[in-house]
């Protein structure tokens, strides 16, 4: 079983719709959760992080965490073509020297 | 804030030579920096964790004598690929963890290495 799992996609949503990206993790000791966006040929860019159960909103982005279900998600409201990228979920356990364990990413395509 | 630079952005070298890549946190201190490599259409692979003033910790399967890491200050880490071979051609990306933060890592723009 992979430590951090994401559907590889592509996830296709029309412009203006809500994109929902999901991630599950296996280590119950995980404490911090991160979403990165990576455009093709570029390095990852941090979008949000969350460490408490519930929702955290930042602009068009909302991260949701459910530690009991070992599930974290990212919602993108009013999706734009510029949101088309690969979204990486990453998980950290303070017992692992702050290393991040990455999922393989979900490719999002926002269509006109 | 939280800007990480990497230099060079792109390098081509001949087989057998060494290449040094610099990673700098420009507006924050980073006790810990990380080095990743990424092959086309694949996920990030952590190579090593670099702590300021101490030896780097390498992931399993990564040759520490081939990939030399130095973290001499709170804002600078370097990766030297020694005796490079064509199979070392890849996208190398560093990240820096902000001291006192929540564990988030900020990535540099990456270095594309091509070994001919």
Q: How far is A98 from A82, CA to CA, in rounded Å?
A: 31
Per DSSP, A30 falls in state -
Name A90's Cβ contacts closer than 8 Å, sequence gap at least 6.
A4, A33, A34, A35, A36, A100, A101, A102, A103, B105
What pLDDT score was predicted for residue A38? 97
Per DSSP, A84 falls in state -
What pLDDT score was predicted for residue A24? 97
Contacts of B32 in chain A (CB under 8 A): 97-98
Could you read off the pLDDT of B83-113 as tens digits, one per residue?
A: 999 999 999 999 999 877 778 899 999 999 9
Write down the mean pLDDT value for chain A. 93
| DSSP letters spanning B59-109 | PTT--TTTEEEEEEETTEEEEEE-S--GGG-EEEEEEEEPTTSSS-EEE--
Could you read off the pLDDT of B43-84 as tens digits, one per residue?
A: 899 999 998 888 899 999 999 999 999 988 889 999 999 999
Contacts of B43 in chain A (CB under 8 A): 88, 102-105
Closest CB to A43: pick one of B49, B103, B108: B108
Coil vs helix vs strand at A102: strand
What pLDDT score was predicted for residue A26? 95
What pLDDT score was predicted for residue A97? 56
What pLDDT score was predicted for residue A23? 97
Contacts of A104 in chain B (CB under 8 A): 43
**In the structure, what pLDDT confidence band is assigned to residue A95 with cuts at 50, 70 and 90?**
low
Could you read off the pLDDT of B1-51 as tens digits, one per residue?
A: 789 999 999 999 999 999 999 999 999 998 899 999 999 888 899 999 998
What pLDDT score was predicted for residue A57? 97
**In the structure, what pLDDT confidence band is assigned to residue A44 with cuts at 50, 70 and 90?**
very high
What pLDDT score was predicted for residue B7? 97
What pLDDT score was predicted for residue B41? 83
Interface test with A, best of B103, B112, B114 (most A CBs within 10 A): B103
Name A57's Cβ contacts closer than 8 Å, sequence gap at least 6.
none
Provide mean pLDDT across the span A72-86: 98
- B72 contacts B27 by C-beta, under 8 angstroms: no
Contacts of B108 in chain A (CB under 8 A): 43
Q: Does A45 touch chain B (CB under 8 A)?
A: yes
Tell me phi and psi for residue B18, to 5 degrees. Answer: -110, 150
Provide mean pLDDT across the span A27-46: 94
Q: Which two tokens stand for residue B6?
A: 């990497």
Is the bond preceding residue B8 a cis peptide, omega within 30 degrees?
yes
Residue with the two structure tokens 């610099």: B22
């Amino acid at each position: 079983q992979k430590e951090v799992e994401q559907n590889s996609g592509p996830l296709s949503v029309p412009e203006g719709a809500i994109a929902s990206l999901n991630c599950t993790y296996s280590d119950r000791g995980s404490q911090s959760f991160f979403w990165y966006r990576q455009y093709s040929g570029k390095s990852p860019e941090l979008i949000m992080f969350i460490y408490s159960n519930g929702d955290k909103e930042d602009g068009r982005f909302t991260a949701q965490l459910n530690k009991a279900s070992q599930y974290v998600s990212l919602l993108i409201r009013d999706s734009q073509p510029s949101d088309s990228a690969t979204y990486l979920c990453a998980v950290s356990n303070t017992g692992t020297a702050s290393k991040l364990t990455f999922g393989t990413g979900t490719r999002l395509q926002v269509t006109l | 804030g939280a800007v990480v630079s990497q230099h060079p952005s792109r390098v081509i070298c001949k087989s057998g030579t060494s290449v040094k890549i610099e990673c700098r946190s420009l507006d924050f201190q980073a006790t810990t920096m990380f080095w990743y490599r990424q092959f086309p259409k694949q996920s990030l692979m952590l190579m090593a964790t670099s702590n300021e003033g101490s030896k780097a910790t390498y992931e399993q399967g990564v040759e520490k004598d081939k990939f030399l890491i130095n973290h001499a200050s709170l804002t600078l880490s370097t990766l030297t690929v020694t005796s490079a071979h064509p199979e070392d051609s890849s996208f190398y990306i560093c990240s820096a963890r902000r001291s006192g933060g929540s564990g988030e890592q900020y990535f540099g723009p990456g270095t594309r290495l091509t070994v001919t």
